Chain A
Amino acid sequence: MEITSPAFIILCVVSVFVFYLVDPKYRILLLTILSAGFIGSLNVFLLAYIIAYALINYYIAFKIKDSHQKVNFFKLGIFINLIQLILLKYSTFAIDPIFNLIGIRIELSKLSEIILPIGISYFTLQGIGYLINIKMGWEKPESNFLHFFLYIVFFPKFLSGPIERSNHFLPQLRSLLIFDRQNIVVGFRMMLSGLVQKVVVANQLSLIVTPVYDKLNSSEGWMLILVIIANPLYLYFDFSGYTNIALGLARIFGVELLPNFNKPFLSENVTGFWKRFHMSLSLWFNDYVFKQASFRLRGYKSFASVIAVFITWFLFGIWHGAGWNFMVLGVIQAIAIIYEFYTKKQRYKVFSRLSPFLKKWIGRIITYLFFGVSLVFFFSTDLKSSVKFFSGLKSLALEIPSTTAPIIISDKISFFIALIIMIGFLFMELLSVDHDRIYQRIDNLWKSNKTRVMLLRYSIYYFAIALVFYFGGMQSEFVYFQF
């Protein structure tokens, strides 16, 4: 079921009513049943698999805490988590070719056709994070299996995150018994905002981006430049749209999930960008890979951080998928971050001559373009296609678009509406960072209870609902669903 479909929205509204009508002590059970039902509707084998996965992690966590062989149990837990991820997600890329080479006629990739490993990259990181927390003594093992199972399967975040931390999620379940009107209002507002971002803006931007990657042979010059510029916006509105739907839905049920975005396009460098873009993932890698690697490699002194950055971003890249293009995606982020680290002083010297405004905007534009270029590796099906994309840039002649060109915007009015909405979103983000006083005034006005303001607010809600209704049915999957 599409999470932007009316059926999903109607079922959510019904679930919310049921949730708050049942006795509070049964609410966690209800959420678990809803989540299990959601996963079961995707694939029954996946549900069975995930129950087994949760049971193993639940058991190992206790063993890590209580057993004399805590290190061995910890290693076993990490091994199980990684091996299941590799088997289900990377066998086509990493295992089957090796088997083929040594003459073993087993195709492990068939396994992923039975258990559709939807959401595996997300729940595996959550499982690993939980075990590390237990091992480090940052939290105690969760005694209630239902709570732990819900941490793994909670349906708003199951498909594409945010990647939750057990010590952030689990304590909230203990206070899930209170009805808070504000949670529901804020939750629905976030969902509505997410739906507008996805179905109005991202789906229209996908008309520029997706066809070009599908038809690289007939795309060149101006189209490729346009795609480089549109790449970040498309990914941002798509993923941020999904995240807001997930966060909003969770909030309605009284759960606050970790945020994923914080106005990323206002970052002035790549290092800062990754503290604002897909935050739940980048912070996970920072805490569980970078910091651990830096500590273990401390013997290498100043190189420790460099090696740790490379390891982190290499893994970050391949987390996205089994392909050389994803490795390159990660490695170029590492190169940029290391470059920024080592040239900090020089860059400060050069840029200090410029006005703060210019300095800020040059940084933002360079960061944006860097991200746009690196996303070519993200959206391409493989490294060969990425190379083909960049080779196409050689012919920069501004040809007039023909009818056979991949980018065809047939419904120009809808596209124009989407652009206006997109600019509106970005403008509000800009105000909140660069002109916070104006933003605060708008925000206070928005929250006011004056009749006129309320009417305006309600009109905006109705307009947003109408927009979602009008744009909604376009079948375009969320980009991050594939991971």
Chain B
Amino acid sequence: MNTNLPHDPELVRRAQNGEAAAFGRLVELYAEPLWRCARALCGEDHEAEDLAQETLVEAWRSLRRFDGRGRFLTWLYGILRHRFLKARRKWRRGIQADEETVERPSREAEPPAAAAQAEEARLVQAALAALPDEHRAVLELRFFAGASLDEIATLLGCPLGTVKSRLHHGLEKLRRGKNGVNLLALSGESPVSKT
């Protein structure tokens, strides 16, 4: 998860002094979690890529505003949320993503193990996609992007208690398999209680 990401204040400081190479290194470190968060927010791959890119550009331009008190990634999340809200207003004006672009790149050439993993990923994504957006976003941010509950609250702009509640209800819906995808079958578990 995100705790594996190195927190390098020196790298950030060098970038703040205008060293583009240092920020390039930060981009390498944070591009993937940033894309995952963007994907969880907007639910679409290409839009997420644009969103992550815009976030990095904005971060580079306003890097001196980062005071180093929190995690650099959390600061990026704040920018990401701001960019997401702006982009959502634009999308609502009629620029809708093409549904076909949600498909992943071709996996025809993947080896069997990778194909099995890809199949599991496809099922998980299908199960998550069937959830209400507010539950899907929390689960993706938690399990795909590795964001903490506080970071999820920042990204979604909602109270911590709401994040906990959505996480609980989202997991409960997945467990009950009411969205048509039984993820417990993937893990070999059989539902023992339907409370």
Query: Do the two shown chains form a genuine complex with each other?
Result: no
Q: A residues bordering B, Cβ < 8 Å?
A: none
